[in-house]
Amino acid sequence: MVRKILYILNDNKLTEFKRVRDKRSGWFIYFWQESFDNLPLVLEERRNWVIEKLESRMKYEEQNYFFQCKNGCEGRYVFIEAMDYNFICPVCQQGQLIEDQNEKKVQILKDSIIKLRNQN
Ligand SMILES: [Zn+2]
């Protein structure tokens, strides 16, 4: 378990290791060292990654019309998909697919992006 955690930290640039082969046993010995000085940089990279994902999702929400079943079935469809289903829910085969007003979702995404950008 400790090794697993060390590798996760290493993947995130928070540890470094040196590997030496033990001459007697032939096994590798690992010498680990923390590099937590990289933490601010790692967090900054992670934050930028999340902002990019949120922006991409926001654009997708803004540039598409979405449709959902009037009966509340699972599933959300972009316009072209809803058209392919003749605006009838493919799950229950009865409910009309009506537009999902996504202004609230877009606003939540916008607010989250602003909040993340302003964090320091
Ligand atoms: Zn339905």
pLDDT digits over 1-36, tens only? 998 999 999 999 999 999 999 999 999 999 999 999
| pLDDT given at position 17 | 94
Quick one: which of 102, 110, 76 has its CA closest to 91? 76
Q: How far is the CA of 96 from the centre of ligand 1 (A)?
A: 7
pTM score above 0.75: no
Q: What percent of the chain has pLDDT over 90?
A: 98
Cβ-count burial 56-93 (b if 16+ within 10 Å, e if not): eebeebeeeebbbbeeeeeeebeeeebeebebebbeee
Q: How far is the CA of 94 from the centre of ligand 1 (A)?
A: 6
Residues with CB under 5 A from ligand 1 (ion): 69, 71, 73, 89, 91-92, 95
